[in-house]
Amino acid sequence: MVAISIDDPPIISAEWLLDGEPHSVTVSPYGNYVVILINSKIDEEIDEEFLGCDHDPPVGSIIIVNSTSHDLEGWSISTVDISNGSDDDLDFSELFDPKSVAINTNNVAAITLQENNAILLIDLEIGAVVSSFSAGPVDLDNIDISCDMSPRDIDQSSSLNDIPREPDGITFIRDNFFATGVEGFLKEDSSGGRSLSIFGVCGDLVYNSGSEMDQIAVSVGHYDDKSSHERGIEPENVAFGAFEGADYLFITGERVGLTYVYYVSTIKTPKFKQVLPTGIRPEGIKAIPNRNLPNRNLLAVAASKDSRENAIRSTISIFEYTSEHSTYPTLKSQRDPDTGVAIPWAAISGLTDAKKGYFGLFQTMKTGDESNFQNQDEGQQDCYHHGGHENC
């Protein structure tokens, strides 16, 4: 790990040697702690080149950096003992691969253990595990899990039961509630968890979005049928932000080039607000409310896909929270009010008017449509606008 001074020019101020390959890093809200997750996944070719063929396989771990000192030389590093405080039903002896971490204002870190289908809570002040629990299974109805590609046919009439959540990204909404992206990618033929879950810190599940995000992707023409048998939209990362007194949760759909926006001021009954178009395979996401940076109110989303032979480059999309009306999507298909299933579509080559009384397949996004952000106190319409393009 390195500490970089952001002076002009930036310089490396300090370095610390870690006992493995870092996967992610998060700083606590008040800057007193840094949590680093060491991944047990490695690049075999690189490791054999530098370490030789006989080195021991890496073991996942959690490192806490006490950064309370203003002097970098006063920072201390410790590794968490995961054998104490863990649920007796969870076995980390053969596999321990921490994925993502979030820290609340009480200096409690919540960590997803995707391959263990578990969540770990660590008190950073004492450097110990205080709780762990299984993320449990998820049931999904009215989704497409077909792997038949000839012809491609989006058919959201299937169901999945008892699919391990195997959560990926995680973020705190309050000090006692956190949200995770339910990727569910390890079980053979599971076809993925495809949803958003909210838990209390005691391990109680308070909300799951079910099949909604898959169905919304179909409705706005972003669904990729090639991923139907392999995790659907593939929820990846999550972020939380309070904007102008309203709480919002953001989750990236890696396979569909979308970020989903949910209003979560009422945690147990989140409300879907809108989708934001991103680059291909969005993963990293950061909410930048107005609280700390005046005139910001931004959301940044990083999409990592870079395929130059196909003229695809990685991107960073920046959205702004405003009082203007949402202009994206300009078109969406109707969803069944009972099942949520949408009429599938991917491209439009032309439109014409219809006779009175004819029920068209698509509807335009109108002013006041419920998918726009709306200020709950003043009644004005609020949304995220894509920087530089006047799109939502």
Residues 198 and 232 both lie in one domain: yes
Which one, of 80, 84, 110, lies nearest residue 202 by Cα?
110
For residue 115, being part of any structural domain is answered with no
What DSSP character marks residue 109?
Answer: E
Residues 80 and 190 both lie in one domain: no
For residue 238, being part of any structural domain is answered with yes
Residues 2 and 145 both lie in one domain: no
Domain, as residue range, for 351 = 135-392
Task: Please list, in sequence order, all residues whose beta carbon lies within 8 angstroms of the beta carbon of residue 351, skipping any fewer than 6 positions away.
Answer: none
For residue 112, being part of any structural domain is answered with no
Residues 17 and 89 both lie in one domain: yes
For residue 116, being part of any structural domain is answered with no
For residue 82, being part of any structural domain is answered with yes
Residues 303 and 388 both lie in one domain: yes
Query: What are 40's two structure tokens?
Result: 């047990």
For residue 117, being part of any structural domain is answered with no
Q: Whose structure tokens read 């595990």?
A: 129
Cα 110 → chain centroid = 14
Task: Count how many domains the chain has.
Answer: 2
Residues 100 and 159 both lie in one domain: no
Residues 79 and 143 both lie in one domain: no
Whole-angstrom distance, CA of residue 211 vs CA of residue 140: 6
Residues 63 and 198 both lie in one domain: no
Residues 202 and 249 both lie in one domain: yes
The one-digit pLDDT tens for each residue of the chain (392 residues) are: 999 998 888 999 999 998 888 989 999 999 999 999 998 765 545 555 545 555 566 678 999 999 999 999 999 999 999 877 666 677 777 778 899 999 999 999 999 998 889 999 999 999 999 999 999 999 989 888 887 655 568 888 888 888 889 999 999 999 999 999 988 765 555 577 889 999 999 999 999 999 999 999 999 999 888 887 777 888 999 999 999 889 999 999 988 999 999 999 999 999 999 999 999 999 999 999 876 566 688 999 999 877 777 777 889 999 999 888 888 888 899 999 999 999 998 877 776 665 554 444 444 444 333 334 332 333 333 444 444 333 33
For residue 229, being part of any structural domain is answered with yes
Residues 179 and 45 both lie in one domain: no
For residue 145, being part of any structural domain is answered with yes
First vs last C-alpha separation in the chain:
37
Burial 334-367 (b: 16+ CB within 10 A, else e): ebeeeebbbebbeeeeeeeeeeeeeeeeeeebee
pTM of the model: 0.84
Q: Whose structure tokens read 């709950």?
A: 376
Residues 353 and 242 both lie in one domain: yes
Residues 22 and 88 both lie in one domain: yes
